Amino acid sequence: MDQRVAIVTGASSGIGMQIAKNLYRNGMEVYALARRVYAMNELDDLGIHTMHLDVTDHDEIDRVVSEIVAKTGRIDVLVNNAGIGSFGSVEEVTLTEGEYEFKVNVFGLVKMIQAVLPIMRKQHSGRIINMSSMAGKIGNMLLGSWYIGSKFAVEGISDSLRQELKPFGIDVAIIEPGAIQSEWKDGAMDRMMDASGSGPYAKLARRSAAFFAISYKFAAAPRVVARAVDRAVFSRRPKTRYAIGTGAKPAMLMKRFMPDKCLDAFFEALNKYAQQVVNRETGQNR
């Protein structure tokens, strides 16, 4: 039997790199794709194939997937991990940046799926693993409207896609991480402060930054996500969702049982408390 083939996007660091390593160690031929090819030397050394890919370049997606199929004759797993976080107030984040958020997190994800589906349908088998977030279920992340909106879209697309691909033997699973150690948080907070660090939303931006600073002290390691992907890939009957990482499962339970305004109040109190902690640590009075 030919070796099973997996594609992992956003594999140049953190979660994506660990996913690629795990799949390779579990016997798969892995193609790790990212814009920063220079950051994937470690994967090359292991024997993982690395290639350049910008998921907002749809022509490049078609070329890269076609090249992989030409070399291997199959694609068994697609892990849509590439993503960014655009934070800041809806009023202040430009539409250009908001559109880019969706180009990466939603349209890039869908284009990757479109590119692999012909070969998966021909095989009558395949696994598509979409990286969502606890934010794909819980919209109470302060100044995170664009990011949350993109992850809600991933959730909805995945649910509908799961049904339309079932007749072709293709499974779809969603990974919903909480706080995970990665470069994502720093980039998201930098973009938030650039957009809303001064002006009418500055107080909320500082509060949001404090919440992330505190919560990410307890962030889980990327291997937690990679293990969830392993379960989604190798289980005979994968779950539709895997909520993992710091805070994910408790937040999901609160969302399920608490009224919306109560959940709003809880997260508001949590953000205020986080800011008080940060203020004490930095010696600020308010």
Q: What is the pLDDT of residue 283?
A: 76
pTM over 0.85: yes
Domains and CATH numbers, the chain: 5-279 (3.40.50.720)
CA distance to 35, 42, 143, 246, 261, per residue, from 154 (Å): 21, 30, 19, 21, 25
Strand partners, 29: 5
Q: Check: CB of residue 149 under 8 Å from CB of residue 105.
A: no
CA distance to 119, 120, 232, per residue, from 169 (Å): 12, 8, 15
Q: What is the pLDDT of residue 285?
A: 55
Task: Report the catalytic residues.
Answer: 147
Q: Which two tokens stand for residue 99?
A: 């559109």
Q: What is the pLDDT of residue 1?
A: 52
Q: What is the pLDDT of residue 279?
A: 87
**Cα–Cα distance measured from residue 191 to residue 159, given in angstroms and rounded to the nearest whole number:** 30
Could you list the mean pLDDT of each consecutive 10-residue stretch along the chain, which spans 286 residues?
A: 90 96 97 97 97 98 98 98 96 97 98 98 98 93 96 98 98 96 90 95 95 92 97 96 92 92 92 90 69
